[in-house]
Homo-oligomer: A and B are copies of this chain.
Amino acid sequence: MGKRFERIKAPELQERVVSAEEAASWIQDGMTLGLSGFTQAGDAKAVPLALAKRAEFETFKVNVYTGASLGSNIDTVFAQSGIVHKRLPFQSDPVMRRKINEGAMLYTDHHLSHTAEWIRDGVITPIDFAIIEAISITKDGMIIPTTSVGNSAIFAQYAKNVIVEINTEQPERLYRLHDIYDTGTHEGRNPIPLTHVADRIGTTGIPVDMEKIRGIVFTDQIDSPSTIVPPDSETEAIASHLLALLRSEIKAGRLTEKLAPIQSGVGSVANSALRGLIDSEFHDLEMYSEVLQDAVFDLIDADVLRFASGSAITLSKEKMAQVYSDFRKYEDKIVLRPQEITNHPGLIRRLGLIAVNTALEFDIYGNVNSTHVSGTKMMNGIGGSGDFARNSRLSIFVSKSTAKGGNISSVVPFVTHVDHTEHDVDVLITEHGYADLRGLAPRERAGLIIENCADPTYRDQLSGYYEEALTRGGQTPHVLEKAFSWYQRLAETGSMLEK
């Protein structure tokens, strides 16, 4: 049977090994799938790709639930093949994005901590097949995930059938990387016992009724590497303003040099901001985040970060090779949890996080758009930013002040889509500086945001809008008929800037 069968420790399950094609053949038109995968880490690969192949000869549609975005081209292939009826809760694929915006497929964009509750409460269509990538299955049928947990545990628990993809390229030493905790249903639910980022409160794998494991597929395809854009002068300026903010918090007695557990959104700006901590005076740091990116391992190497809790490990090609070849160095300093736990509002409030997330645009009163270009076209999704922003001790949004060579201002009179309301945004940072909005009324915020965050070329234009709005009065002064005029100007002239 070969060495790879040793990954299936329950002998009665070894006979359930099938090809990816056979497993994919069980999936019928109209079914709902729950796929492992979070920010292109630990995604089920073989069966989804075999399923998409069927679309060359057959017409069918499925609903696809995941942890977050998928790698390995799966979302691209799914979108191109037209087999997805509805997708949730997050994606970041250019082809899928286009199909969504054309109305060719449905996308339910929602808080990453909410999917598990929706499944438990029977709110969304039940899952027919959960397809979960694993390093192994234990003697008692527990699934040990690979590089992400995401929604895999809740999918496996509630799905009618489970398909396990055992990835033999993922080292078995990832065993004990995961901590799987189930909140249970609302009735008689106990407090989640986690009080420190490093606490282990659950099981080492996903407990699942062995009867439900319909098939096991072997794969050896590793995760897609992430593309980290190197820091530029603007992301470096953002990182330095973040450090200045943290220093001023220490000076005010609100933080110490150990800061507080940090959450950091995905992407190059956040990665650059995190890297900025390496050469700082801060020490013994902790992370309680979703995705552990390159910078997290750099911070561990630099002995600045004590422990990191996340739901996925997403690395560049170089970093991936280094981290997994020397994983012993990290294994006591990392844990992966279900996204319901990493993003849990009660735990975020309890631990008192510093949350750093990326805004697409924000307005002069502090409302943030994270998802929609010009209010209509979906970029990726809200992801976990809402879970963190609402409940953190210090909720920070970062953005470059302009886009498209200065033709688009990220600071606008009125955002075209609100993902984070003025009530949930503490501090805004661009390359020009930061605006600390905590405790401020809207009229106190506007000037601060314009002066500290907007690009100088747009400041007069923003001030002009605000001054006209003041003549109308109100808690949150606006000139409604001009609130979105910047987007019209952009559409007509190619720039938001007044001539």
Residue ranges of A at the interface with B (Cβ–Cβ < 8 Å): 86, 88, 100-103, 106-111, 114, 117-118, 121-125, 183, 186-193, 195, 252-254, 260, 344-347, 349-352, 367, 372, 374-378, 382, 386, 390-391, 393, 416-421, 423, 438-441, 443-444, 469-470, 472-478, 480-481, 483-485, 487-488
Contact = CB atoms under 8 A, between A and B. Distances in A.
Given A109-B423, A372-B475, 4 more contacts: A106-B444, A111-B390, A125-B439, A480-B484
A480 B375 contact: yes
Nearest to A373: B474
A112 B183 CA distance: 26
B376 A474 contact: yes
Contacts of A474: 101, 372, 375-378
B476 A417 contact: yes
Contacts of A382: 423
B473 A103 contact: yes
A108 to B, nearest CB: 5
A475 B439 contact: no
Contacts of A472: 376
A123 B439 CA distance: 7
A122 B254 contact: yes
Given A254-B122, A475-B372, A106 B441 contact: yes
Contacts of A260: 186
A409 to B, nearest CB: 16
Q: Lowest 6 CB-CB distances: which A-B pairs, in order?
A: A346-B346, A186-B352, A376-B474, A191-B191, A378-B475, A418-B418
A299 B29 CA distance: 48
A366 B188 CA distance: 31
A244 to B, nearest CB: 18
Contacts of A344: 346, 349
A480 B475 contact: no
Contact of A122 (B118, B253, B423): B253
Contact of A195 (B118, B189, B372, B488): B189
B481 A484 contact: yes
